Structure 1
Amino acid sequence: MNRNVLSRRALVGVAVAALALAGCGGGDDDSDTGTDTGTDASAGATDYSNLSGELKATGASFPDAYYQEVITEFKGVASKLTVTYNATGSGQGKKDFGANLNDFAGSDSTVKDTDGVAAGSYLYVPTVAAPITVSFNVSGVDKLQLSADTLAKIFQTDIKKWNDAAIAADNPGVTLPDKNITVAHRADGSGTTNNFTKYLVAAAPETWKLKSGDTVDWPASTQGAQKNSGVAQLIKSTDGAIGYVDFSDAKASGLKFAAIKNKDGQFVEASLDGATAALNGATIKDDLTYDPLNAAGATTYPITAPTYILVRPSYPDAAKKDAVKGFVTYILTEGQALAPEVDFAPLPDGLKTKALAQLDKIQ
């Protein structure tokens, strides 16, 4: 159990008790006297105890550490509701959603026509964001800086050696070995791949040739692995490897990651502060999708990715609807405090408010 779980639960208990006492004060209160299911996002509900049943979800591995932490904590306030999240990758999560095999899906990428999800059958709910690290394992190299053009050339294998002149130009004074580069990437359909390649399209448009998507046509000499954790393990076990891995898995695996040159010309290492700076500069669309990639700002980490939960505009029965709304409400309220503990950036207040309002559309 996370070292902060017990103290956090105690604080939640105090807060709930305080709210209950506040609700008991004054017999002239005109509030609604109907049954409180704890799912009214606009009212900032805190009582989830009436939620029951089972929710099954699949999708992105990028936010898996966060969702698992939230599920563990949520069980303490909604003991009659079981929530499971299987990190199958964004692509599979969207396919499952389109086939009605899950109650909600996790995705780091937006829905495309090829995902098998019908138009009008989903709503985006942003949850957290995090850096995508460029992690590396090169003997004798502890610090690395990479510009977008150099990064693009490495991942499409135009650059094959660690002592290439382009890498050396990004790293003055660093001794780079005459060693082959092994590029590691996701083998499964992945929102992490989508966001990483979208960054390269935006930041290195004249250099990057592989386009963007949940999958791309990687050169044959590269190596693929399943999920972020698989890519992390591949990098860790291969001297000379480089790959893209979510911040949480990169830290958990003890990987080193490069500082990336941002739009303002500053080399910035992946961090939650850098991700938060990117979030604050992102434009939010009407459907609540947003793009913090390659955002401006001296302290911005340029490969910062959003992640979403796909929910249905309607559910077959009231209990299922209340369960989905209740769990996602918890993610957007109490659950936001858990995000930094597992290396994710919480949503800015304005976006969080819009995400909560999105839940009111569920019937």
Structure 2
Amino acid sequence: MKGNHLISKRSAGLIGLTLAGVLALSACAANETPAASDGDSDSTASASTLSGTISGSGSSAQGSAQEAWQAAFQTANPEVTINYDPAGSGAGRTAFIAGGVAWAGSDSALSDDELAGEFAACAPDSKAIDLPTYISPIAVIFNVEGVDELNLDPTTLASIFNGTITTWNDPAIAALNEGVTLPSATITAVHRSDDSGTTKNFTDYLGKTASDIWTEKAADAFPAAFGGEGAQGTSGVVDAVTNGSNAIGYADASKAGSLGTAKIKVGDEFVGYTAEAAAAVVNDSPLVEGRDANDLAIALDRKTTDPTHYPLVLVSYSIVCQTYADADAAALVKAYIGYITSADGQSAAADAAGSAPLSDDLSAKVAAALETVS
């Protein structure tokens, strides 16, 4: 197929991706959004008319959810292959912009500069849109000798990660943790070494809640000037904290495992992460202003003082073309993203990754935006 040849060539030439079969699609129904059902998988699969292969790349935070989504969607649609590379949000957006993948998973929405550029997989004069897909708290993970519970406020957390506070028994940390014996050990602060939407959300939180301490703008790249220890991907940060000495880091909560997770101060209380608290802050946050009506990027309310909200949260997006250059690609992307943002898909992600399902209102907005994709 001509469209497949062009996109594969861009993938090889522009970003060196070798994703076999990217966008090699046969004709498929434009408006189907099939979902797997434990009790009716055989009949659902036999009824499916979808076939072909598409590939996505991006958010490692979405990794566990993507595995569950791929399995369910491919069971319901046995002639379909879905590939997803959890290479990180920055890498995913780069691949999508270059035309190497059909969609990107990203823990941060497209920037204004990215939206102003061209998208190789999209039809001429068509842009990409951000569709909320996966909501999850970001956990502040720690491994500190003799410490099982830890409270941190935004100022102290920012001071740890900008290198101002360097030992665990610093008075600022001790004041928030009365009765806890904190070691005099040096703090190992671990951050993502790759471009990461998780980092952008983490630094956005620090910049909004501790602006006097955290003076850098939110970005996918952790500020090099602040030092600390870098690690590749979510798994790299978790491994570095797990195997490190008196270490602290940040990661999608689904990957925290048995590590300690700090409570953060919201209003007058210290709040631990929950899927419900993450969903609450998303539901009460407005959309980013000035974007296309179908672009659902969310301006998260990091400064909330409501202790039922957990403001250190990420909304991970599926970034898709409003209009694809290849109609076959559009049909399959539309079906897959339609499934993962459906009630069934969101339930599968919650079971696999502990994420917070999209609210009914947000889910309806996503479905309406998807209807316009062609």
Q: Same fold (TM over 0.5)?
A: yes
Counterpart of 2:307 (choices 298, 311, 334) is 298
Aligned to 1:52: 51
Partner Cα distance (2:364, 2:191) in 1: 35
State the shift of 1:63 in Å. 1.3
Partner Cα distance (2:371, 2:175) in 1: 52
Q: Helix, strand or coil: the match of 1:184?
A: strand
Q: Helix, strand or coil: the match of 1:189?
A: coil
Q: Helix, strand or coil: the match of 2:213?
A: coil
Partner Cα distance (2:325, 2:297) in 1: 26
Aligned residues: 325
CA contact (8 A) 1:291 1:306 kept: no
Partner Cα distance (1:293, 1:231) in 2: 26
1:274 equivalenced with 2:283 (yes/no): no
State the shift of 1:121 in Å. 2.1
Unpaired runs of at least 5, structure 1: 1-34
Unpaired runs of at least 5, structure 2: 1-26, 38-43, 120-125
State the shift of 1:193 in Å. 0.3
Aligned to 1:340: 350
**1:307-326: per-residue Cα shift (whole Å, max 9, x none)?**
10000122233322211111
**Cα 1:360–1:327 shift into 2, 3 Å:** same
State the shift of 1:360 in Å. 1.5
Aligned to 2:215: 209
Aligned to 1:37: 29
1:257 equivalenced with 2:261 (yes/no): yes
**Cα 1:219–1:136 shift into 2, 3 Å:** farther
State the shift of 1:40 in Å. 4.8
Aligned to 2:118: 118
Partner Cα distance (1:293, 1:131) in 2: 14
State the shift of 1:50 in Å. 1.0
Aligned to 2:79: 80
CA contact (8 A) 1:184 1:224 kept: yes
1:355 equivalenced with 2:366 (yes/no): yes
**Cα 1:89–1:325 shift into 2, 3 Å:** same
Partner Cα distance (1:312, 1:273) in 2: 31
Equivalent AA in structure 1 for residue 55 of structure 2: K
Q: Helix, strand or coil: the match of 1:129?
A: strand
**Cα 1:241–1:114 shift into 2, 3 Å:** farther
CA contact (8 A) 1:126 1:308 kept: yes
Partner Cα distance (1:316, 1:53) in 2: 16
Q: Helix, strand or coil: the match of 1:248?
A: helix
Equivalent AA in structure 2 for residue 181 of structure 1: I
CA contact (8 A) 1:293 1:303 kept: no
**1:131-162: per-residue Cα shift (whole Å, max 9, x none)?**
00100000100000000000000000100000
State the shift of 1:118 in Å. 2.5
1:238 equivalenced with 2:244 (yes/no): yes
Partner Cα distance (1:156, 1:216) in 2: 10
Counterpart of 2:340 (choices 331, 334, 338) is 331
**1:152-188: per-residue Cα shift (whole Å, max 9, x none)?**
0000010000000100111111111100000100000
**1:218-264: per-residue Cα shift (whole Å, max 9, x none)?**
3464111111111000000012110111111112xx211100011x2
**Cα 1:296–1:353 shift into 2, 3 Å:** farther
**Cα 1:184–1:44 shift into 2, 3 Å:** closer
Q: Helix, strand or coil: the match of 2:105?
A: strand
Partner Cα distance (1:188, 1:211) in 2: 17
State the shift of 1:352 in Å. 0.5
